[in-house]
Structure 1
Amino acid sequence: MELEQLLTLIQTVSDSKLTEFKYETETLCVKMGKESSVKVVTADPQMMAAVPAASAAVEAPDTEEEKAPEGKIVASPLVGTFYAAPSEDAAPYVQVGDAVKKGQVLAIVEAMKLMNEIESEYDGIVEEILVENAQGVEYGQPLFRIR
């Protein structure tokens, strides 16, 4: 995908009523969400250097009304359905009080029939699970608090 095509795609999605868009090939994965960021991931480093403005990190939303509890927040990278376990009869990936390592699977978010593993971005202890199993989640919504 050329830079002009990517910029046109970003503009088209921005102008549409879509809240999320994903395009994937063997060497390129483009995910866009309208709330606060666009994320571009690619295997071609030259492409990443060409579009730094299109790349952004997922962060938990801040509000003045809520006090920020201690710990780090793991937020949902996409809109979908949150699942705490790999199947209905399986134990949850993690529970409050469990020690976790960076990269460890915490849950799954199903989006468009695809199961997306949510990995911990931090080492620490699961202080709080902020959503219920099988609950719908939004892009950027806090899922876990880890201290």
Structure 2
Amino acid sequence: MDYQQILELVKEVSKAGLTNFEYTEGNIRIAMSCPQPEEKIVVPASNIALQEAIGVSANSVNGANTAGTEGVAAPSQAAEAVGEKGGNLVKSPLVGTFYAAPSEDAEPFIKVGDTVKKGQTLAIVEAMKLMNEIESEFDGVVTEILVENEENVEYGQPLFRIQ
């Protein structure tokens, strides 16, 4: 078996979605394995807050909905519900840990009701041991802080609402 044939074999095994493959010909043995990606399950910090944000009744979430036509909305719908309240959203520019204050014993950078200016530091997101200041992209009043201190945040996740 030559190099091109081995490459073709690898491509075909990958395309077929196989997780394990073994081939033996004479004194040549080729074994390939690709572990299945782990399925991530995201559990909201507060199911009640999520239900309120997406407008789902507690009965339908707890299984009391017998019609089966309603259910919990997808996470993307929850994000859309956050955006429907109006105002400008400041979103996380990276994945990391959200910090509302410069240190554990310090006051938070901002609170709900504070007036902020464009360029003002609102929080810090730590990524790979680097502290990244999150600055306001808007002038206005902070109407909502959408994450808790030391909470893990995703890229593009809304952090603040400013009106």
Q: TM-score, normalised by structure 2?
A: 0.51
Q: Which is worse superposed, 85-94 or 63-72?
A: 63-72
Aligned-partner Cα distance in 1 for 2:118–2:77: 26
Aligned Cα RMSD in Å?
A: 2.1
- The list of structure 1 runs, each at least 4 consecutive aligned residues, that deviate by more than 4 angstroms after superposition, is 62-65
Q: Does 1:117 align with 2:117?
A: no
Q: Does 1:139 align with 2:146?
A: no
Q: Which has the bigger relative contact order, CA under 8 A and spacing at least 6?
A: 1
Alpha-carbon distance, 1:63 to partner: 4.2
Aligned-partner Cα distance in 2 for 1:136–1:100: 24
Offset from partner CA, 1:14-63 (integer Å, 9 cap, x none): xxx9xxxxxxxxxxxxxxxxxxxxxxxxxxxxxxxxxxxxxxxxxxxx74
Counterpart of 2:84 in 1: which secondary structure? coil
Q: Which runs of 5+ in 1 are unaligned?
A: 1-16, 18-61
Alignment of 1:22-33 (within 5 A): none
Offset from partner CA, 1:114-139 (integer Å, 9 cap, x none): 00000000000000000000000000
- 1:126 alignment counterpart: 142
Alignment of 1:91-110 (within 5 A): 91-110=107-126
Bigger fraction of residues in helix = 2
1:112 partner amino acid: M
Alpha-carbon distance, 1:75 to partner: 0.1
The counterpart of 1:86, out of the listed 102, 110, 116, is 102
Aligned-partner Cα distance in 2 for 1:142–1:97: 18
Bigger fraction of residues in strand = 1
Alpha-carbon distance, 1:70 to partner: 1.5
